[in-house]
Amino acid sequence: MIAYKFLRSDGTSPFTRFAWPVPRGEPGDWLEAPIAPCRSGIHACRARDLPLWVGRALYEAELDGEIVEEPTKVVASRARLVRRIDAWNDNARDAYTRMCADRAHELAVGASPVLKDWDAVIEPSIREGPALLGFVAARIAEARSGVEAYHAERARQTAWLVERLGLEPS
């Protein structure tokens, strides 16, 4: 199964700082991690999860072995990084951040009544980057129109990323 993995610029996991074998010309080494009932296994994103886990460096990953699908991620007992998605660079990050900020304004100002306090958070958040702005836009959508709107906004974000980065939409 093809999936995605966000890592820090140095190729380490954002939460555990685990150093992944990164691809250099060819896929990185396979990792194995048995899936215990509540823990371990290797975590990765489907396309629809991408906005939730936005990080510095994006890789395409191949998953194998036992694969468990969870609400916001997929967990596998075997995985390797196939290639770095170079299209996810500073320009793409900035463009995505700006897109989310513009959407957030649109949603907050277009609301009735106007979500002024929510709108005020947008610009100051820009410096914190794409993950935060994606969250801000989705939450403003939710504040305006409920949970469905939250999901719709996240789906928009996924669609933007899939198109911009040339990913498989599944």
Partner 1 sequence: MADGHEHVSCQAVVELVTDYLEQALPPHEAALVEQHINFCEGCDWYVDQMRRTVATVGRIEEGHVPPETRDMLLAAFREWRRS
Partner 2 sequence: MTRVGVQEHQASQEELELLGRLRAGDEQAFEALVTQHYATMLAVAQTYVRTRAVAEEVVQEAWLGVLKGLDRFEGRSSLKTWILRILVNIAKTRGVREARSVPYASLAPEGEEPAVEPERFRGPGDAFPGHWRAYPADWHTLPEDALLQQETLRVAMEAIERLPPAQRTVIVMRDIQGCEPEEVCAVLDVSDGNQRVLLHRARSRVRAALERHLDG
- 118 binds partner 2, rule: CB under 8 A: yes
- 139 binds partner 2, rule: CB under 8 A: yes
| Binding letters toward partner 2, positions 14-53, x by CB under 8 A | ----------------------xxxx--------------
User: Among 10, 66, 72, 120, which residue sits at the site for partner 1 (rule: CB under 8 A)?
Assistant: 72
- 121 binds partner 2, rule: CB under 8 A: yes
- 143 binds partner 2, rule: CB under 8 A: yes
- 88 binds partner 1, rule: CB under 8 A: no
User: Among 26, 113, 117, 169, which residue sits at the site for partner 2 (rule: CB under 8 A)?
Assistant: 117
Q: Which residues pair with 74 in a beta bridge?
A: 44, 69
Instruction: Summarize as ranges the residues that interact with partner 1 (CB under 8 A).
Output: 14-15, 38-39, 49, 52-55, 70-73, 128-129, 131-132, 134-135, 139, 142, 147, 150-151, 154
